[in-house]
Amino acid sequence: MAKSSPILLLVITHAIALVNAEIFTALTTLTKALQYEKSLAGNLREYVKLEQERLQKVLELADSYERHAETALVDAESYVANPVNAYLFVKTFTTDLPKTKELVSGKQNSEEFLQLLEDYQPYLPDEEDFEGVVAAILRLQDTYQLTSQQIADGTFTPTNRSPPMSALDCFNFGAFAHKYQDHYHALIWMDEAYQRLQQESNHTVSPSSVLDYLAFACYNHLTAFNWLTMHMANRIGIICSHG
Amino acid sequence: MAKSSPILLLVITHAIALVNAEIFTALTTLTKALQYEKSLAGNLREYVKLEQERLQKVLELADSYERHAETALVDAESYVANPVNAYLFVKTFTTDLPKTKELVSGKQNSEEFLQLLEDYQPYLPDEEDFEGVVAAILRLQDTYQLTSQQIADGTFTPTNRSPPMSALDCFNFGAFAHKYQDHYHALIWMDEAYQRLQQESNHTVSPSSVLDYLAFACYNHLTAFNWLTMHMANRIGIICSHG
């Protein structure tokens, strides 16, 4: 584990014994990540404030467009009889346009926030943590013989509950297992994803994706099971014929 | 005039006589442009509404970050004792991140509006109109011997006033004249821009840009004037010596 992966480490402590120093480091890093998460909440609110100011300017622009168009439409000919009016109208849609486009794109505010997020990234969980946590949970599932439903409901430790998992979360577990050709876990987690989809009014994952993976996992698992059965039957046959 | 340039056409009617049909077409096109400007005001307000909804989601995200971080920070070790908590935290900054970035970028709303603006473009004034109107105003200035200040104040037609021009507007006139090597107009309009800059609390154009052009226009205009004086003196000398 070249990079500190505190969450993975702390999850693993519940399956294997780790020395205190490692747990301490992991906890410190996790605490730091949570503090960065809290800072991000503040940064997001600042971003919203800047965006509200930008939208106020957009509304002022809309007002000025409307006011101008309505005044000019009363008598268009008389309006352009003063050529400065004509110039100011033309200017709005030529030299002023890049500024208007920039105002509407809102790029500056969003880019500043996204840059901040980029700066925080080393202190926040990453893809490696994601795979590590899922793998650790699958190992815990086998060790303590937990059903996918127990884990997904967050009720498998009665004293320390977690929020329930969505169909998409279960799908993520199934897809992870599928990636590493763990057909058994792929099957039970895609099945759990499918069960949860029935209860979701807004599907967090498309049913067809779940069914695709489910069919594939089912086929692979049964094939593996059949192969095992045939292999054992052969072995028994061989043993019997040699008996 | 391959492309209909209604504003230019209407400005020109005040300098030269045009047949009624041309004026009618120009007025129709101008009216259409003004109606598109009015529509744009409505579109901008719709865009702001969509953006407000987006910002509401960003605020909800900020709330969920803060709530989560504060709950977990109370006892980080006990928090990750349930590995599903750990999974959900990691997920926020890995698989959920592209969605968060998209939400903060606000690209969808702004791109939809910018596409709309693109669609309206053929009915709105363009760069050709801009240059045409400025050239027409400079011609009117010479014909009716108006000062730049009279035009910029919008008071040269007592019955039909226009809003006053900013220093940037005067700068645009000067820069246009400069582009076509019309040093005299460049000089008087950059001078007007400089006068107006003194009265602007928020400069609409940088003083150094105005002074740059002003110095250049001054030099060119004086050079042209000196050349003319010398040329005339030479001619007079030639005439005298031949007299």
Q: What is the mean pLDDT of each run of 10 residues along chain A (243 residues)?
A: 54 53 69 91 95 96 94 84 85 88 89 90 88 90 92 82 91 95 93 94 93 87 69 62 55
Q: Which ipTM score applies to this complex?
A: 0.78
Interhelix angle for B20-74 vs B97-105, to 10°?
140
Return contacts of B31-35, CB within 8 angstroms, 24+ apart.
Answer: B31/A73, B31/A76, B32/B123, B33/A89, B33/B6, B33/B7, B33/B123, B33/B124, B33/B125, B34/A69, B34/A72, B34/A73, B34/A76, B34/A89, B35/A69, B35/A73
DSSP 8-class letter at A123: G
Give residues with Cβ within 8 angstroms of B234, minimum separation 6: none
Amino acid code (one letter) for A11: V
Give residues with Cβ within 8 angstroms of A26, minimum separation 6: A4, A6, A7, A9, A10, A13
Output phi, psi for A41, to 5 deg: -60, -45
Using the beta-carbon criterion (under 8 Å), do A73 and B42 form an inter-chain contact? no
pLDDT tens per residue across span B109-131: 889 999 998 999 888 888 888 89
**How far is Cα A6 from Cα A12, in angstroms, rounded to an integer?**
10
Q: Are the beta carbons of A4 and A29 closer than 8 angstroms?
A: yes
Q: How distant is the alpha carbon of residue A67 from its chain centre?
A: 44
SS3 content of chain B, % helix, strand, coil (to 5): 80, 0, 20
A174 contact B CB<8A: no
Sheet strands (E) in chain A: none
Nearest residue of B to residue A104, measured between CA atoms: B110
Q: Are the beta carbons of B173 and B134 closer than 8 angstroms?
A: yes
**How far is Cα B106 from Cα B47, in angstroms, rounded to an integer?**
11
pLDDT tens per residue across span A136-170: 899 989 998 999 999 999 887 777 778 899 999 99
Using DSSP, state whether B54 is helix, strand or coil. helix
- Please identify among residues 179-218 of chain A the ones whose CB lies closer than 8 Å to any CB of chain B: none
Give residues with Cβ within 8 angstroms of B171, minimum separation 6: B189, B190, B193, B205, B209, B210, B213
Q: Which two tokens stand for residue B28?
A: 């129709």
A233 contact B CB<8A: no
The owner of tokens 């009716």 is B144
Q: Which two tokens stand for residue B239?
A: 């005439």
Question: What per-residue confidence (pLDDT) applies to B227?
Answer: 65
- Cα angle A52, A55, A58 (rounded to 5 degrees) comes to 160
Domains of chain B as residue ranges with CATH: 6-123 (no CATH), 146-242 (1.25.40.10)
Residue B132 has pLDDT above 60, yes or no: yes
In total, chain A counts a number of residues equal to: 243
CA distances from B114 to A39, A106, A141, A211, B51 (A): 33, 12, 51, 39, 14
Q: Which two tokens stand for residue B116?
A: 């709309």
Output phi, psi for B2, to 5 deg: -60, -50
A106 contact B CB<8A: yes
Using the beta-carbon criterion (under 8 Å), do B86 and A11 form an inter-chain contact? yes
Residue B218's pLDDT band, with cuts at 50, 70 and 90, is confident
Output phi, psi for B19, to 5 deg: -70, 155
Using the beta-carbon criterion (under 8 Å), do A162 and B84 form an inter-chain contact? yes
Question: What per-residue confidence (pLDDT) applies to B4?
Answer: 45
Question: What per-residue confidence (pLDDT) applies to B14?
Answer: 55
pLDDT tens per residue across span A162-178: 889 999 999 999 999 99
Residue A162: list chain B partners with CB under 8 A. Answer: 82, 84-85, 88
Question: What per-residue confidence (pLDDT) applies to A66?
Answer: 95
- Cα angle B61, B66, B69 (rounded to 5 degrees) comes to 120
